[in-house]
Amino acid sequence: MESEAEAAAMASIGGLEGGNHHPVQSGIACRNCGAKVEVRFCTSCGQLGADFHRPIWHLVSSSFGDMFALDGRLWRTLPMLLLRPGRMTRDYIDGKRARFVPPFRLFLLTSVIFFLAVFWVLEHQPWLKEFRFTPDSMPTGELVLAGDTRIRLNGQANLAGLEAELTNPDLSPQRRAELEAAIARIQTIGPVAPMLLEPDGSIDREALRQSVIDSNPDMTPAELAAAQVAAERFANLYENQERFGTRMKEWAPRFTLLFLPIFSMLLALSYAWHRKRFFYDHLITGLHFQTFVYVLVTAVIGVSVLWPASAPIVGGLAPLGLYFYLMRMLRVTYDTGYIMAFLRTGFLLVSAIVVLSLLAAGLVILSFFLT
């Protein structure tokens, strides 16, 4: 996925430049098809009519000039996107497109920068790099329902705490009965997880299958088969936690790409009775809005890394700024009044949170099955 992202970034950058730093002699024959090159590009095949048989330092300087000088559209597009919400979107929908970077190209470029920033920050978090589920960090046993109290069984550590609480002379009879039932259950089950681990840290599959059978002897064959499959999956996840993280990293950009058509459909739903609006309009609006979100979050990450003390302030202001940005965008793009823009913005952002939560859950589930 990282190679795909890099390719998308290079393609986006490539679309912003036109080889203006490579000198071209008009009137020469195209080296590809032989047609006469009148200006810079061959009118027959489209190849740049430049001669690359030059000293290497000339080629390098020309290539860097193309990459970093991009064309003027980028420097017109970004200020409009960031400082004038909806203005560029409205102009683009109205047909004034030549002056701006195409929305999808800008979306790809900013999404790559966003994910590079996110992955870089995650990879430089010591606690995250060292984080790993172990038997000591995972609860063992099961949840016991004693009266109205649910007690998580945590093996001997939990047993000691419950026994200490049981020595309290002021305990009510009900609480004492609950504790005695929980202690008896813990002593019956014991610490399960360590019994399943091999010396090399892997899970003993035979012991795992037997523990599934022992956990509920009354299961039907179908229930037992499903429980065995689930246990096998979790064992694979435990043994391959790094692979699970890699799968999430690979698929996260693809899942965020799914957000674009869904958000566009939410826009279409919000303006369902506006017959003069087409799905194309909502798609352009969604592209520009999600591009702004990428830029905003990347900026928040950058500021938080450079000035960690400002992270709570910046993180708190960002959602507020996002709300007012989208509200202003709806007003300019769709000529929506203040009240309706405010209400639609609330609906869109709440719906977006729900959608992102579902996508995040889907990402975890898919990564689980791919591990």
Per-domain residue ranges for the chain?
1-14+71-137+205-371, 17-69, 141-191
Percentage of residues of the chain with pLDDT beyond 90: 30
Higher pLDDT, 359 or 65: 359
- Least confidently predicted of 210-219, 226-235, 296-305, 357-366: 210-219
Query: In this predicted model, what pLDDT tens digit does every residue of 58-83 receive, in sequence order?
Result: 545 554 554 444 556 788 889 999 99
**Band of the pLDDT at 45, cuts 50, 70, 90?**
confident
Q: Is the pLDDT of residue 129 over 80?
A: no
Higher pLDDT, 112 or 160: 112
- Considering the chain, what is the average pLDDT of its residues? 77
Helix, strand or coil, per DSSP, at residue 29: strand
Which pair of structure tokens corresponds to residue 239? 């043994």
> Which of 39, 18, 19, 20 shows the shortest CA–CA distance to 30?
39
CA distance 264 to 267: 5
Q: Is the pLDDT of residue 177 over 60?
A: yes
Highest mean pLDDT among 228-232, 310-314, 315-319, 323-327: 323-327
Query: In this predicted model, what pLDDT tens digit does every residue of 85-100 receive, in sequence order?
Result: 999 999 999 988 888 8
Q: Region 34-52: what's the mean pLDDT?
A: 70
**Band of the pLDDT at 50, cuts 50, 70, 90?**
low
DSSP per-residue letters across 174-240 = HHHHHHHHHHHHHHHH---HHHHB-TTS-B-HHHHHHHHHHH-TT--HHHHHHHHHHHHHHHHHHHT
Please give the pLDDT value at position 145: 37
